[in-house]
Amino acid sequence: MNAQFKKGVLDLITLHILKNGQMTTYDVLVELRDRLSVNENTIYPLLRRLENDSLISHLKVQGEMGAPHKVFVLTERGKTQLEMLRKDWDDFYQEVNDILGGKNDE
């Protein structure tokens, strides 16, 4: 898969995952690792980039074992970006399906 394309998709999925609430880096990593074939080494840099772009922000919370750690949340800008990426994805998916004739036509 094209690296740039995959990057955009990863942004979309990560923002979508974070829509549901606070998550640690590990939570995001597990979620992406289990549901998508991504390299684990890209997850932390990805979160860092999204935070630098103000699409997500972090809070420090007391963890299950007492250790305070970062949890990421979606910012308002992140929510807007998610909507935009989602729309782009839906349009793209639709267009590809139209060209290919849809799964049911095969």
Partner 1 sequence: MNKEIFIEKLHKILKEMEYSTSAIDEVIDDYKTLIDEAIQRGENEVEFIEKLGAPQEIAKILMADMPKRTKVDNRIIAISPFVAAVLFFYLGFNHQAWNPGWLVFLLIPITAISIETKGFEKYVALSVFVSLTAFMLLGTYLNLWHPMWALFLIIPSLGFLNSKKTLSRLFGVYTLVAMVIFILIVLIYNPAGYLHFLLLIPIPVMGIISGEIELVINSRKPFKTLLLSLASSLLLLLIYLWIGLQYQIWHPTWLMFLIIPIVTLLYRQFVKKEKIAVVSYTPFISVIIFFLLGEYAGAYHYSWLVFFLIPITAILFEKRK
31 by DSSP, 3-state: which?
helix
CA atoms of 58 and 16, how far apart (whole Å): 16
For residues 11 and 13, what is the distance between their CA atoms, to the nearest angstrom? 6
Binding window for partner 1 (CB under 8 A); candidates: 3-11, 40-48, 77-85, 87-95: 40-48
State yes or no: residue 3 binds partner 1 (CB under 8 A). Answer: no
Q: Does residue number 2 form part of the binding site for partner 1 (CB under 8 A)? A: no
Name the site residues for partner 1 (rule: CB under 8 A).
24-26, 29, 39-42, 44-45, 48-49, 52, 57, 59-70
